[in-house]
Chain A
Amino acid sequence: MSLLTLHDLHKVYPNGTHALKGINLDVKEGEFLVVIGLSGSGKSTLLRCINRLIDPTSGSIRFAGKDVTQLSGAELRRYRAQIGMIFQHFNLINRHSVLHNVLYGALGRLPLLGPLLGHFPDELKVEARRHLTLVGLADKETNRVDALSGGQQQRVAIARSLMQHPRLLLADEPVASLDPATSHSVMQYLEKINKEQGTTIICNLHFLSLVRRYASRVIALRAGEMVFEGKPEDITEAWFKKIYGEDAEEVEIK
């Protein structure tokens, strides 16, 4: 069953950049979809259009059978709350504790006043600890997040997104600022969430070796257009040149 359907999605930024040029995409429940392409090819814009951090210029977005292109206000927030997101630079709240950063993932379903006064229900804390255990950071809950390593911070971000009980998890180059070993660890946590909890994942990646290892399906963007769609093993040398340009060389990440 298809979870997300993009139809003829365009995004033109105020400065005139045409970042997405008619993207049509159908994402099935439980997929691990990887988006590849050069920097500036529209990958980040695509992800941010899906959870409406960026408003598409035209086209439509359907999520779980419902048109979400025009949602606003509380409806938009309820929609976003179903979609987790992790980022290249983690985007955690520095100075705050690991546990609190995870709790912030639940803000979408909390009342107005409690969180402002620093009050989070006990059952949420129990849940947050469960997610922290899942990503292997059970002993770090009182640490400040800015004291953690990059890989640990990204795992906190994953735990934060799990607080949303996401049906879909967007990952915007989640390992681009991590070293190779840590990259695999973070990717394996994403794989685990995908396999064990059935969470659909859409992930932007740079390294084809990671793509081949983790993706169930791949799409490639070039200058805002979808130029490839298929299985990771179908990306041949010829396709690689087409996606990344004639001069590109593949770099391995072990």
Chain B
Amino acid sequence: MPKKSKSNKGERIRRTLRQWQARLIDVLLGTYLALLLHRIWYYHVILGTPPPPFDVGDFPLYLIIGGGIFLVLNFLKASPATLIHAHPEGRRRSIAVHLWWWIGISTILTGWIVTRVSVFDLFSTEGLQGARRIFSAIFSPDLSILWQGLTAIVETIYLAMMATLFAIPIAFILSFLAARNLMQHHPVARLIYSLTRLLINFTRSIEPLIWAIIFTVWVGIGPFAGMLALWVHTVASLTKLYSEQIENINPGPIEAIEATGARWIHVLWFAVVPQVLNPFMSFTIYRWDINVRMATVIGLVGGGGIGTLLMQYQGLALWHQVGTLVILIALVVWVMDYLSARIRAALA
């Protein structure tokens, strides 16, 4: 029975791994809870003063006390992580559940304190006056800059379009390399797949705003920098969307075309591409729509278009002019959103 003992061994290894995983999670959670109990509950809630600045030297203390207690609980099968893998009963379960509640509530409390949520600021007389001033200015726009605003927003729309257009061919090719179902047959292919995914996820994790800052330094302030920023981000996003679409196709036609003795490129072109073309177009239009909105924000950091104009008027506190631009942006975003939804519905 060599096969059976092998599977038992596999099962044992998996169980041991799960146990160590649970212990690690418990130590991390315990440390976290100890930190929050001391610095948030003790200082902010009980003493009402901000805690002293955090010192890295304190960290081992939290680790030993919090992590230690949780680790002991883990061995007693009454720790939070126990609940992930097992179903303890009675008092053990009750302790574990209570600790989860403490972690959850402390986390929300911490969030409240960190973001300095203040109902007082939101509804103070002074604050409300300021808000009214801006809103009334926005809703009595200065139409003398309408032409200037229109020119700028057309620039934004074209900028978004160029970023999308230039992204399509690159995303199209990359998406095939980033599709698991097409890249699993060969070790080299799997490596290419992993590298492409890594590159895409890294690029996507950097916001277009940051890319815009990078490109304004690289090519100078203006629409070109904005276009490049959107382009980089769009390539990454479209590749991800496209490749997920490829992963969802019906493998039957691939088999059928392969069985005719067709070349690999013909298999892609005749069995894969027809299945993904419409969804690709739909994603692309959706992305253009997103890009118009993003292009506005990117203009704020010097990426050209209406965002840059908005920034200038806002810097001079010319709220009536800002109002004109805000209304223009809202209008264009609404129209783009509507059109893109209609086109995508027609493609589906």
Listed in ascending order, the chain A residues whose CB lies under 8 Å from chain B are: 48, 51, 53, 77-85, 87, 89-96, 104-110, 112, 115-116, 157, 160-161, 163-164, 170
Binding stretch for chain A, among B80-88, B153-161, B268-276, B316-324: B268-276
Measured between beta carbons, the chain B residues less than 8 angstroms from A163 are: 260
Q: Are A92 and B256 in contact (CB under 8 A)?
A: yes
From the candidates A78, A94, A160, name the one contacting B261 in the complex (CB within 8 A).
A78
Q: Are A116 and B265 in contact (CB under 8 A)?
A: yes
Given contacts A93-B270, A93-B271, A96-B274, contact A80 B255 (CB under 8 A): no
Q: Give CA–CA (A79, B260) in the complex, Å.
A: 9
The reply to whether the CB of B90 lies closer than 8 angstroms to some CB of chain A is: no
The size of the chain B interface, using a CB distance under 8 A, is 18
Question: How far apart are B84's CB and chain A's nearest CB, in angstroms?
Answer: 26
- Chain B facing A: main interface SS: helix
Q: Give CA–CA (A116, B259) in the complex, Å.
A: 18
Given contacts A89-B252, A92-B253, contact A160 B260 (CB under 8 A): yes
Closest A residue to B275 by CB, please name it: A94
Considering the complex, which residues of chain B in the window 245-279 have a beta carbon less than 8 Å from any beta carbon of chain A?
Answer: 252-253, 255-263, 265-266, 269-271, 274-275
Add 5 more A-B contacts to A53-B259, A80-B260 (CB < 8 A).
A80-B259, A85-B255, A87-B252, A107-B262, A115-B269
Report the tally of A-B residue pairs with Cβ distances under 8 A.
78
Listed in ascending order, the chain B residues whose CB lies under 8 Å from chain A are: 252-253, 255-263, 265-266, 269-271, 274-275
Q: Are B270 and A104 in contact (CB under 8 A)?
A: yes
Q: Give CA–CA (A163, B262) in the complex, Å.
A: 12
Closest A residue to B254 by CB, please name it: A91
What would be 16 A-B contacts, judged by CB atoms less than 8 Å apart? A51-B259, A79-B261, A81-B260, A87-B256, A93-B274, A94-B274, A104-B260, A107-B261, A112-B265, A115-B269, A115-B270, A116-B265, A116-B269, A160-B256, A160-B260, A163-B260
Measured between beta carbons, the chain B residues less than 8 angstroms from A170 are: 259
Q: Are A107 and B274 in contact (CB under 8 A)?
A: no
Q: Are A108 and B256 in contact (CB under 8 A)?
A: no
From the candidates B255, B260, B263, name the one contacting A105 in the complex (CB within 8 A).
B260
Q: Are B261 and A115 in contact (CB under 8 A)?
A: no
Closest A residue to B252 by CB, please name it: A91
Q: Are B258 and A80 in contact (CB under 8 A)?
A: yes
Q: Are B263 and A85 in contact (CB under 8 A)?
A: no
Q: Give CA–CA (A48, B253) in the complex, Å.
A: 14
Measured between beta carbons, the chain A residues less than 8 angstroms from B253 are: 91-93
Q: Which of A105, A107, A161, A164 has the most CB of B within 10 A?
A: A107
Q: Are A108 and B274 in contact (CB under 8 A)?
A: no
Question: How far apart are B251's CB and chain A's nearest CB, in angstroms?
Answer: 9
Closest B residue to A113 by CB, please name it: B265
From the candidates B258, B266, B269, name the one contacting A53 in the complex (CB within 8 A).
B258
Question: How far apart are A173's CB and chain B's nearest CB, in angstroms?
Answer: 13
Q: Are B271 and A77 in contact (CB under 8 A)?
A: no
Question: How far apart are B275's CB and chain A's nearest CB, in angstroms?
Answer: 8
From the candidates B255, B266, B274, name the one contacting A91 in the complex (CB within 8 A).
B255
Measured between beta carbons, the chain A residues less than 8 angstroms from B255 are: 48, 53, 85, 87, 91
Q: Are B274 and A83 in contact (CB under 8 A)?
A: no
Q: Are B256 and A107 in contact (CB under 8 A)?
A: no
Measured between beta carbons, the chain B residues less than 8 angstroms from A160 are: 256, 260
Measured between beta carbons, the chain B residues less than 8 angstroms from A51 are: 259
Q: Give CA–CA (A160, B260) in the complex, Å.
A: 9
Q: Which of B255, B257, B259, B271 has the most CB of A within 10 A?
A: B259
Measured between beta carbons, the chain B residues less than 8 angstroms from A79 are: 261
Given contacts A92-B253, A93-B270, A93-B271, contact A108 B265 (CB under 8 A): no
Q: Give CA–CA (A90, B259) in the complex, Å.
A: 13
Q: Which of B252, B261, B262, B265 has the most CB of A within 10 A?
A: B261
Question: How far apart are A214's CB and chain B's nearest CB, in angstroms?
Answer: 22
Question: How far apart are A224's CB and chain B's nearest CB, in angstroms?
Answer: 16
Measured between beta carbons, the chain B residues less than 8 angstroms from A78 are: 261
Measured between beta carbons, the chain B residues less than 8 angstroms from A90 are: 252
Given contacts A91-B256, A104-B257, contact A77 B274 (CB under 8 A): no
The 3 closest A-B pairs by CB, nearest first: A108-B261, A81-B261, A107-B262
Measured between beta carbons, the chain A residues less than 8 angstroms from B259 are: 51, 53, 80, 83-85, 170
